[in-house]
Structure 1
Amino acid sequence: MPLVYNERHEMAIVRGGRHLFTKVSGTMGPGCRICFLLVVITIFINITTCDADLLSDNQTLLAFKASVDMNGKLENWSQGSPCDGNWYGVACQDGRVAHLVLENIGLTGPITVLSSLDQLRVLSLMGNSLNGSLPDMSNWANLKLLYLNENNFRGEIPPSVSALVHALRIDLSNNKLIGPIPDSFSSLTHLATLRLENNFLSGMLPSLNLTLLNDFNVSGNELSGRIPITLRNFDISAYAGNPELCGYPVSACNFSLPPISSVNLQPPSPSVLPCSPMTRPTDERLKKASGNRLSVGVIAAIVVGDASVLLIVIVMFLFYYWKRYSRRLDRTTSKFLESEKGEFSSDQHSVQVPEVKKSKLVFFDWKKPMFDLEDLLRASAEMLGKGSLGTAYKAVLEDGTIVAVKRLKEVNVSGRKEFEQQMELIGNTQHSHLVQLRAYYYAKEEKLLVYDYLPNGSLYSLLHGNRGPGRTPLDWTTRVKIALGAARGLAFIHQEYSTPKIPHGNVKSSNILLDKNGNACLGDFGLAPLMNATAASRLVGYRAPEHNETRRFSQKADVYSFGIVLLEILTGKASAQSAMQDKGIDLPRWVQSVVREEWTAEVFDIELMRYKNIEEELVGMLQIAMVCVSQSPDLRPKMSQVVKLIEQIRGDQSPQRDESFESPNLSPSPSEDVGTSL
C-alpha cells in the first residue's frame, strides 16, 4: 500500500536509519561506513521524494475538490490516500495519480489547480458545469485521453496544448471557447480524435497534417477561409455551422474582386478630355443602341442551348469509351483460366491417361455434380489473391453459381493416388468453422480445388486493410466471435485426427475467412503436407520456434500460430511472419517487452479504446495468447482448452460502446494474402 507522508513517518525513517547505521557500522571499516551511509541516504531520499510527489497529488486533488465539489459527490476523498483505490474516479500508476475520471456529477468551478498533476494519463471531466479558462497543460506530457467537453470553459485554447505529445483523443466540444485554433495541434502526431465543435472559435483552420487523425469536428463555430487540403477527407458535417468556411467538402471558394474604392486607379491622361456636350450621345442614339441589345430571355435560351449540346457531346464521348473499356474488360476476365483450357482438353490427355481415367472434376457431397470442368473454364473469374500455396479466384458460372477456385503450385506428390487420398481426407472433414472443399481436379501439370466462396474477406483484411479515412473499425465483440470460431475449427481438426496427429500447418489471419453471416471459417486445411520442400519453406503461416529445427508441422505448432492470431486481434498489428515482413513485427517479443515495462495498456489496438469495461476481457485474452506462444511446446494448451478459455472471456453481453472513441487511421499493411488465402 502506498505510503502517506507525515512528520511522524519521516522521523521514524530517520531514527531507523540512524539505528541501522550505528548497528552495522561497528563491523565495517571507515571506507565501508561512508559507502553504507551514502546508500542509506539515497534510499531515504527516494522514499521521501516518492512520498512528497504523492503528497503533492493528494493536496492538488483536495484543492480541486474544495473548489468544484459543491454537491458533496467526492465525499470519500477525505479519507486515506488517492492511491488506496477508494477515491471515486481516481486511479494510480507507480504510486502517482494517473487517471481522473469524473463525468456528469455536477462539478462547478475552475480546474486550473489540476495542471500540477504531471503523471496524468487520462483526464475526463465531461458533462459537468466547470468554468473558467483551460489550465496550463505544460505538465501533461504523459496525457493520452483528454475529455473536457460539455462544460462552460471560456477563453482561448492555450498554446501549451503542444505539450500533449502523447495525446490520442482531445475533446473540447460544447464549451464557450473563443479565438483561433492553435497551430500547435500539428505537433501532436499521435492524435486520432480532435473535437472542437459548438464553441465560438474563429479565424482560419490550421493545416493539420496528422496522419492518424480520424475523428475531427469543428462544426458550430465562427471559422472562416479555405479548408486546408490536409483536412478535406472528413465529412461535410465536420464543418457545418461555419458559414464563412469554403472549399471541399463544403462549397467552392468564390473570391470576388475588391470594391472599386480600394483599387488604385491611375489619373486620366492629359490628352483625354471629359466629354463635351457636343460629344455626348443623344437620347435618340442611346435608345437605338439599347434597342439593338439582346434581351435577358434570349441570352438565357442561348446559354441553355449551348450547355445542352455540350452535355450531349460529353455523354456520347463517355458512352463510347465505356463501351471500349467494357469490351477490353470482358476480353481479360470473361473466361476463367482461358490459357489453361487447352491443357485440360480430353484430346491432349488421351495419350497420357487411359480413357477411363480421363481427368474430370471430382465432387464430394453433391449427389449430382452441379457443373463440369468446361463450365468452370467458361466462368468469369476474378483473382482474389496469391498465397504460398497458389492463386485463388472467384469464379461466377453461367447459371450464377459462385465458387472459389484455388490453383495449386509446387505440389509434391508421387502420383494421382496420393493426391486423391489427401483430397478425400480434406473433403470429408466437415465443420461449420472450416471452409468446405467441394471438388477437385487432378492432371499431371494442373491441380485445382473448388471451395465454397465466402464473401466477407479475411481476418487479415479486416484488421490491417484500409486503415484510412472512412474505415469501419473491427469491434471487440466481432473480434472475440472470430477468434472463438477459428479456435473451434482448429480444435475440431485436432480432435478429429488425434490418433494420427494431423495438423493444419498454415494457420494465419489471412486463412481465417468470414461467411455471409460473419462466422469465421478456417481455410487451407490439409494442403501444407502436399507442398514440396521449397514451397513449404515459404509458407507464411506463423511458424513455431521448433519448426526451424524439425521442419515438421505439428498440432502444438498450430497452437503457437493461433496464439499469434490472437495477438494480431488484440494489438491490431501485423506479424513479421507475413508476406510483407518489413511491415510487421515480432509480436510475441514485442508484447513481452511492453508488458515487462508495465505498460500493458499500450499493447492493445487503439481501435478498441472506444469500448468501455472490456479491460478484464482484453487482459484475459492476452493471457491466453501468451500461453499459446510459449517457447516450449509442452507448455502450450490444447486447442480444446483454448476454446473453453475464450468462451469464458465473453458471455452473450456486448460491451458498452463509448461514442467519444473512434478508430484512428493507420497506414495500410498490404499483403499478398489480403483478400483470401484460398
Structure 2
Amino acid sequence: MPPNGGGTALPLPLLLLLLLSPPLLLPPHSLADAGSLEADVAALADFRLAADPSGAALASWNLSAASPAAPCSGSWRGVTCAGGRVTRLVLEGLGLSGAAALPALARLDGLRVLSLKGNAFSGGVPDLSPLAGLKLLFLARNALSGPVPPSFGSLYRLYRLDLSFNNLSGVVPPELGRLDRLLTLRLDSNRLTGGIDAVALPRLQELNVSNNLLSGRIPPAVAAFPAAAFGGNAGLCGAPLPPCKDEAQQQPNASGAVNASAARDCPPAAAMVASSPSGRPAAAEAPGGGKGKMSRAAVVAIVAGDFAVVGLVAGLLFCYFWPRLSGRRGGRRLQQGEKIVYSSSPYGAAGVVAAAGAGGATFERGKMVFLEDLSCSNGGTRRFELEELLRASAEMLGKGGCGTAYKAVLDDGTVVAVKRLRDATAAAAAGASSRKEFEHHMAVLGRLRHPNVVPLTAYYYARDEKLLVYEYMPNGSLFSLLHGNRGPGRTPLEWAARLRIAAGAARGLVYIHQCGRRGSGTPRLAHGNVKSTNILIDRLGAARLADCGLAQLGSSPAAAGYRAPEAPPPPRPWASHKGDVYAFGVVLLELLTGRCPGSELPNGGVVVELPRWVQSVVREEWTSEVFDLELMKDKGIEEEMVAMLQLALSCAAAAPDQRPKIGYVVRMIDEVRACGEASSPSHDESVGESSGVSDSPAVSEGGALSQ
C-alpha cells in the first residue's frame, strides 16, 4: 500500500517487467532507435532500397558502413545532419522512383527540409504528420497521384509547400487553412477540384493553383495575386479573373435600378414614348394624380447645382492635397528611376518598392546586402541604398538568359553593373529557392574573388524583384570582340589576344570549380552558363567570367549551342563541371573559327552544333577551312592553332568522361602560349598593342590550379 493510502501499488515483479520489456507495439525499426540517428539510417536505407534499387543514383549511401554516423559525414549525397539527426534531405532530378519509397521518410522525425523535385515517384502522398518540425517540403515534378493529405494541416511549422506538376486529384483539403506560417503554396498543374477557400492564408507570399479543375469564387484574401496564379481553371471566377455570373448579373441589375430611379425623376424621351400605350409621349404624373412636365428651367437649375457642388469639392481637395503632393516630388523622381530598373516588371513600372511603400499585403520590401566583407579582398565597395541605385542614370547593356543587365552611374560617379533576374515570378515557379536559400547562395557567390571572375558585390531581394550588383567591366565581352562589326573598319582580335583571353577564362573556371570544394559546408559549385557573352574584359584587359552560379537559381539556363549533350532540356536548371568544360570547348572553337553557334556558313547552311561541324570538316581533311580568316595574316601560328583545335574538340567531346578537367586545359593553353612566345616574343608584344587587349599582371599571378 502506498503512503497515505493513495492509489494501488503494482507488484514489484510486474513493475520490473513493464520497465525492462521492449515496446512491442512499435514497429521493428523503431525499437531502441526511435528518435535517434540509428533510426534515421534505417529509414534512409529503406528509402534507398525502394527508390534506387540499382544504387546508381545513391551510390554514396554506403549502407554497410561500420559507423552509424556515416550519413552525417558529408559523404552521403543530399543528406545533411544537425545535432546528431538527419535534418535535410535534398535529392532533386536523380530519376528516383517507386510508390513505396516516400512512406519510409515519414520516420525521419528530425527532418526540417525535404526536397525530391524532378524525380519519378508515384503513388499517393504519404502521411507526413510525424515530421512535426518540417519547414520546407518540395515534391514537385513527380508522378504522385491521389488526394492532398489532410494531415498536412498538422505541419504547423511549414513555410514552403510545393506539390506542382503531379497527378493529384480531389479537393484542396480545408486543413491547409491551419498553416498560418505558410509563405509559398504551389498546387498548379494537377487535377484538383472544388473550391480554394483553404488557400486564403494570412502570410502567403507566393501562390499558384493554375491548370487544375478548380471552381468557385476566388477568396478576397488572395485576389491580389496575378491572374496567372489561377489560370487554367475554367470554373474559377472573381478578381483577378473575370467576375462570377452572379456578380455580372448584379451589376446590370444595379445599374438598371439606378436608371429606373432616374427615369422616375426625369424620364428621357425614349422612355416616355415606350411607356405610352398609344405610342405618343406619355406625361409624368403629378403627385395629385394629374399630368404635368418638369420645366426646362428646373432641369437647368439641377444640372448647374450639380456642377457647382462638384467644383466646390474639387477645389477643397486641391487645397488640401497640394502641399502634400508638392512635398513628394522626390518620391515621384524615385518612381521615375524605378521605371528604369523595373520597366519589365509584371507588377508595373513602380515595381516592388512602391507596392511595399503602399503597404501591400502581397509584397515585401527588400534591402541592399553588400558582400565584400565575405571575401578576402582588401578593397571595398561603396555602400548605397536602393533609392540611390534607382536614382542613378541607367543604360541597358543587354538581355540574356538570366535577365537584363544595366550600367548604372550613381550620384558620385561610381559605375556598377546591375542585373535584374529574368521574370522572378516565373523563376520561382520553375523551382527557385526560398529566401534563406537564395541568401545563402548569394553568400557563396560573394566569396568568389579572383582576377578572372566578375565579383558580385551586392544584391537586393524581394519576392517579386531580385537585383544583383557587379563590378562594371568597361571593355565589353569576348562575343563583341569576336563577332561585332565584322564589316569594313573592324579591328580584328589577334591570335595572342585570343590565347590570353582563353587562358584567363580557364583560370577563372578552375577557381570556381575548386572553390566549391573548400569546406564541408560549401556546396559543389559550377558556373552553369559559360559562353562568349559571359566572358568580359576588365579595364586591364583581363578576361573575367560573369553570371557565375546563377544556373543553380533556375534563372540562367545554358545558352543554345553551349549546352552539353547530357544536359536536360531547358528550362530545367542544370550545371556541372563536365558541362562547363563542354561549354568552354565551344568557346575555344569560337576563338578558332570566328563563328558562333547559329551562325550562317558561306554556302547558306547554319551551324547548329559548332563542335559537330568542326569535326565533319576535320574528317574531310579540310582543317585549314575551319580557322577564322582574320587569323590567316598571322604567320607561324599554324601549329598553335592545330594544338588548340585538338584541345577544343577534346573539351567538347560528346561523352562527359572523355572531357579533360579544366586544370589540364589551363596547362595545355599555357604550353601553347609558351611555345608561341618562345618563337616570336616581339610579335606577341605587337599583337597585344594592336588588339587593345593587354595582359593583366594579376592573370599571370593567378597560376593554373591542378584538379
**Relative CO higher for 1 or 2, CA cutoff 8 Å, sep ≥ 6?**
1
The structure having more radius of gyration, on CA atoms, is: 1
Place the TM-score, normalised by the shorter chain, in its bin: 0.3 to 0.5
Q: TM-score, normalised by structure 1?
A: 0.44
TM-score, length-normalised on structure 2?
0.43
